[in-house]
Amino acid sequence: MTVYGYSSSGNCHKLRLMLTQLRREFRWVEIDSTSGGTRTPEYLAKNPNGKVPMIEADDGRIMTESNAILCWLAEDTAFWSGDAWQRAQALSWMFFEQYSHEPYIAVARFIRGWTPLDSPRRADLPKLRERGQLALAVMELHLQQHPWFSGGDYGVADIALFAYTDVADEGGFDLAPYPAIRDWLLRVRRTPNFIAMPLPPVEAASRIALPD
């Protein structure tokens, strides 16, 4: 299987993390989505929506959308277990991640690290910070009562939510007010064969180090 992804993208790292934890073999093709890598005719022919990650099976079949790929990889494993209700609850958190979490927490990080310091998009940061904090508060409330987002055990929804929550500070989010989230991040980091997302590229890291 081939994964097309940008290593500094949380959506892409989700796949690297789960594949590593499942001890599955894969080939990684680095696609820099921040500099047009998903807009080439070759890439668009495979994924007309022009986003990473994407997987290509050995028979050439394509699948897109990080969280759908996670579900496919997790089928018949402990990462997406339980009855239909429990599996749908994991999906519920994964839809929450894509609709109420990633568009604020990941996008704030992207703007801080991957846009010029004079980008007009930086004016969006206060609003993104506010909406992202609402998502963190919803997660905190859940984690005060439950150890994981995927039912009784660590699994698909934890991987989906971990990716950008673990680097929320790079978007300017302070996790100090969310002790249950901080504990959960530590629990995820201690799962077998855990692999962290690489540090951002130097130019992005130097922008992230600056105040807004």
Distances from the Cα of 1 to the Cαs of 34, 50, 56, 80, 94, in angstroms?
Answer: 24, 19, 6, 20, 23
Q: By C-beta, is 25 or 76 nearer to a second copy?
A: 76
Q: By C-beta, is 29 or 88 nearer to a second copy?
A: 88
Which residues contact a second copy (rule: CB under 8 A)?
48-49, 51, 61, 63-69, 71-72, 75-76, 84-85, 87-89, 91-92, 94-96, 98-100, 102-103, 134-135, 137-138, 141
For the CB of residue 176, give the shortest distance to a second copy in the complex, in Å: 20
Q: By C-beta, is 165 or 208 nearer to a second copy?
A: 165
Question: What tokens were used for 1?
Answer: 């299987």
Are 24 and 51 in contact, with CB atoms under 8 Å apart?
A: no
Q: By C-beta, is 103 or 147 nearer to a second copy?
A: 103
CA dihedral in degrees (67, 73, 74, 77; nearest 10)?
180
Of 121, 120, 118, which Cα lies nearest the Cα of 109? Answer: 121
For the CB of residue 4, give the shortest distance to a second copy in the complex, in Å: 14
φ/ψ of 128, rounded to 5, equals -65, -40
Are 180 and 137 in contact, with CB atoms under 8 Å apart?
A: no
For the CB of residue 1, give the shortest distance to a second copy in the complex, in Å: 12
For the CB of residue 146, give the shortest distance to a second copy in the complex, in Å: 13
